[in-house]
């Protein structure tokens, strides 16, 4: 008799934090419970075969926007081949708008919201009775000190090969309407000393890559400082075996004390994900996003000039009220601040988020299938949105990848959005593809485009040759000194 906890992760390197929370909180059922993770793209029949090899009595699936379609197929097959196994769903994708979802119709039970308490309770009922009367169980949200921390459930293999997700708090007090965290209304901190003791144990077991999933790491500066000090102490004690920490921060809140701590991190050890989303105040007001744009810009500039933090800044195209010109202005403003990466996302309609209240007023048309990407708005038609989607993909390949670091300024010139859009349209016209373009082919295409824009052939060749992209096929690729602990793209930015 086994309870299985399963999900399809987006990549092998992603270890599911949600499943480990459930495992840690199974109480007396813990001995019966096993984790079985997969990666999207696995064959449905193989997934089902491996799950059934455990002879499970219950299978709990973590369902997310990136795996809902494949998990639906897995559940459909399971219900045909092994109808006696109780299927319980949980996760953000199945916590809202549940009635219309095929996967919910196929499953036996559903836990919406937090599962830490409710999933084990449901399992007890399924194993020992009385049989639950309801299919849908609203997840109980206990005080955080009643939730067992899951970090001991990262295996030695996870520590050696995967990114370790950790959280010092849950929830977010802000209300950006495209974001699921806007429904939280507040943030709840875990006991900081207990949390740091878990980080200490992970570090002692060899963990070096820590990714914080806290929605706003810099809300409570006292806690942020204590966490940063933990990492600074580790860096001071073992400079040759450095830790690497990734945090999500709000851009307009960097008090001096935090800046001082940030400045102490050496290159390749600190990464910030910073949400700007839009620089347009009218769009920000429509989506209820509170952001001081000038202060945000000043802080990004300060981070670039006075710290070694690697900066990933998020922009979203397709927000209600944002036309192409407004987006281009925001993009150019951001490029001028020179973050290492601009994560150019296209708006998605996450289930449960209030953004849909603008559907009629702003002509929002979303793809009905996951990931529910925006297809058109009253400001941006479908064809233009498609160009933006390709822009985002090529931006990732050329700019964010760090493979064209020396060539990029020449591509962007004085009008970054307009010029990169030109390159993007040209690349698509010449390749008919946005994926599976070999790096040497991409390098040759970029050089050809530069020549078509009037650059001398020898200058274009020299520029490309000075980049990772121009070197890769010659086997002469530079790496940063501490590339082992540093994620690959950051290592390339450091080496550039
Ligand atoms: S986008 Fe960021 S700040 Fe806004 S609600 Fe979501 S997590 Fe909070």
Q: How far is the CA of 392 from the centre of ligand 1 (A)?
A: 21
178 in contact with ligand 1, CB cutoff 6 A: no
176 in contact with ligand 1, CB cutoff 6 A: yes
172 in contact with ligand 1, CB cutoff 6 A: yes
Ligand 1 pocket: which of 179, 217, 345 to mutate (most atoms within 8 A of CB)? 179
Q: How far is the CA of 378 from the centre of ligand 1 (A)?
A: 25
Nearest ligand 1 atom, CA 173: 8
Beta strands 374-376 and 365-366, pairing class = antiparallel
291 in contact with ligand 1, CB cutoff 6 A: no
Burial annotation 55-65 (CB, 10 A radius, 16+ → b, else e): ebbbbbbbbbb
216 in contact with ligand 1, CB cutoff 6 A: yes
| C-alpha torsion angle, residues 116, 120, 123, 125 (rounded to 10) | -120
Q: How far is the CA of 259 from the centre of ligand 1 (A)?
A: 22
Residue nearest atom 2 in ligand 1 by C-alpha distance: 215
| Series of mean pLDDT values for 10-residue runs along the chain (496 residues) | 94 95 98 97 98 98 98 98 98 95 98 97 96 96 96 96 95 95 92 98 97 93 97 97 96 95 97 97 97 97 98 98 98 98 96 96 97 98 98 97 95 98 98 91 96 97 92 55 59 71
Residue 415 CA from chain centroid, whole number: 29
Q: How far is the CA of 278 from the centre of ligand 1 (A)?
A: 13
Beta strands 33-39 and 2-9, pairing class = parallel
Measured at the CA of 70, the angle between CA 383 and CA 141, to 5 degrees, comes to 100
Q: Which residue has the tokens 């802000």?
A: 174
Which CATH code is given to the segment(s) 163-380? 3.80.30.20
400 in contact with ligand 1, CB cutoff 6 A: no
Q: How far is the CA of 247 from the centre of ligand 1 (A)?
A: 13
Q: How far is the CA of 215 from the centre of ligand 1 (A)?
A: 6
Position 301 scores a pLDDT of: 98
This prediction's pTM: 0.93
In the chain, CATH 3.40.50.280 covers 3-145
215 in contact with ligand 1, CB cutoff 6 A: yes
Distance CA 459, CA 280 (A): 37
Structure tokens at 4: 């299985």
Nearest ligand 1 atom, CA 184: 5
Ligand 1 pocket: which of 170, 180, 275 to mutate (most atoms within 8 A of CB)? 275
Q: How far is the CA of 351 from the centre of ligand 1 (A)?
A: 15
181 in contact with ligand 1, CB cutoff 6 A: yes
Residue 234's alpha-carbon distances to 197, 243, 311, 329, 425, in angstroms, are: 13, 7, 22, 41, 47
Q: How far is the CA of 126 from the centre of ligand 1 (A)?
A: 37
Nearest ligand 1 atom, CA 277: 1
CATH 3.30.300.130 fits 3-145, yes or no: no
With the C-alpha atoms ordered 20, 22, 28, 31, is the resulting torsion angle positive or negative? negative
Nearest ligand 1 atom, CA 182: 5
Residue 319's alpha-carbon distances to 16, 352, 356, 393, 490, in angstroms, are: 30, 17, 11, 18, 29
275 in contact with ligand 1, CB cutoff 6 A: yes
179 in contact with ligand 1, CB cutoff 6 A: yes
Distance CA 119, CA 104 (A): 16
Residue 254 CA from chain centroid, whole number: 22
Residue nearest atom 3 in ligand 1 by C-alpha distance: 174
In the chain, CATH 3.80.30.20 covers 163-380
Contact indicator for 299, 328 with CB cutoff of 8 Å: no
Q: Which residue has the tokens 């591509």?
A: 411
Contact indicator for 250, 275 with CB cutoff of 8 Å: yes
Q: Which residues pair with 135 in a beta bridge?
A: none
Residue 209's alpha-carbon distances to 11, 13, 202, 241, 362, in angstroms, are: 16, 11, 10, 11, 42
Supply the angle between the helices 192-204 and 221-237 in degrees, to the nearest 10: 20
């Amino acid at each position: 008799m086994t309870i299985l906890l399963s999900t399809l992760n987006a990549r092998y390197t992603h270890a599911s934090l949600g499943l480990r929370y459930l495992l840690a909180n199974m109480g007396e059922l813990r001995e019966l419970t096993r984790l079985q993770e997969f990666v999207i793209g696995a064959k449905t029949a193989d997934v089902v075969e491996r799950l059934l090899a455990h002879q499970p009595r219950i299978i709990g699936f973590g369902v997310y926007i990136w795996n809902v379609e494949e998990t639906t197929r897995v559940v459909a097959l399971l219900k045909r081949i092994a109808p006696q196994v109780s299927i319980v769903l949980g996760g953000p994708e199945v916590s809202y708008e549940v009635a219309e979802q095929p996967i919910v119709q196929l499953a036996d039970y559903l836990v919406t919201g937090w599962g830490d308490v409710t999933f084990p309770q449901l399992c007890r009922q399924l194993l020992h009775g009385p049989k639950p009367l309801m299919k849908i169980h609203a997840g109980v949200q206990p005080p955080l000190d009643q939730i067992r921390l899951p970090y001991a459930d990262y295996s030695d293999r996870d520590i050696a090969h995967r990114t370790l997700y950790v959280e010092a708090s849950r929830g977010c007090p802000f209300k950006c309407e495209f974001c699921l965290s806007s429904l939280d209304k507040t943030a709840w901190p875990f006991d900081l000393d207990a949390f740091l003791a878990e980080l200490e144990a992970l570090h002692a077991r060899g963990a070096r890559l820590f990714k914080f999933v806290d929605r706003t790491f810099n809300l409570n500066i006292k806690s942020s400082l204590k966490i940063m000090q933990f990492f600074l102490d580790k860096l001071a004690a073992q400079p040759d075996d450095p830790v690497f920490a990734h945090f999500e921060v709000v851009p307009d809140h960097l008090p001096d004390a935090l800046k001082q701590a940030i400045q102490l991190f050496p290159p390749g050890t600190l990464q910030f994900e910073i949400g700007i989303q839009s620089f347009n105040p009218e769009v920000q007001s429509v989506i209820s996003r509170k952001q001081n744009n000038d202060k945000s810009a000043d802080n990004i500039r300060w981070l670039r000039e006075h710290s070694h933090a690697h900066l990933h800044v998020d922009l979203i195209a397709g927000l209600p009220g944002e036309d192409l010109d407004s987006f281009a202005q925001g993009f150019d403003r951001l490029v001028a601040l020179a973050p290492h990466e601009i994560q150019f996302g296209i708006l998605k309609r996450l289930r449960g988020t209030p953004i849909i209240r603008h559907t009629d007023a702003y002509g929002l048309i979303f793809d009905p299938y996951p990931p529910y990407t925006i297809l058109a708005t009253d400001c941006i038609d479908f064809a233009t949105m498609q160009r933006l989607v390709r822009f985002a993909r090529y931006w990732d390949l050329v700019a964010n990848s760090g493979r064209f670091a020396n060539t990029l300024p020449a591509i962007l010139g004085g009008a970054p959005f307009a010029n990169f859009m030109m390159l993007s349209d040209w690349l698509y016209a010449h390749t008919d593809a946005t994926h599976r373009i070999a790096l040497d082919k991409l390098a040759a295409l970029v050089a050809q485009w530069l020549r078509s824009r009037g650059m001398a052939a020898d200058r274009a060749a020299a520029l490309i040759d000075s980049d990772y992209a121009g070197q890769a096929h010659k086997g002469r690729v530079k790496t940063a000194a501490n590339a082992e602990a540093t994620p690959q793209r950051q290592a390339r930015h450091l080496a550039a």
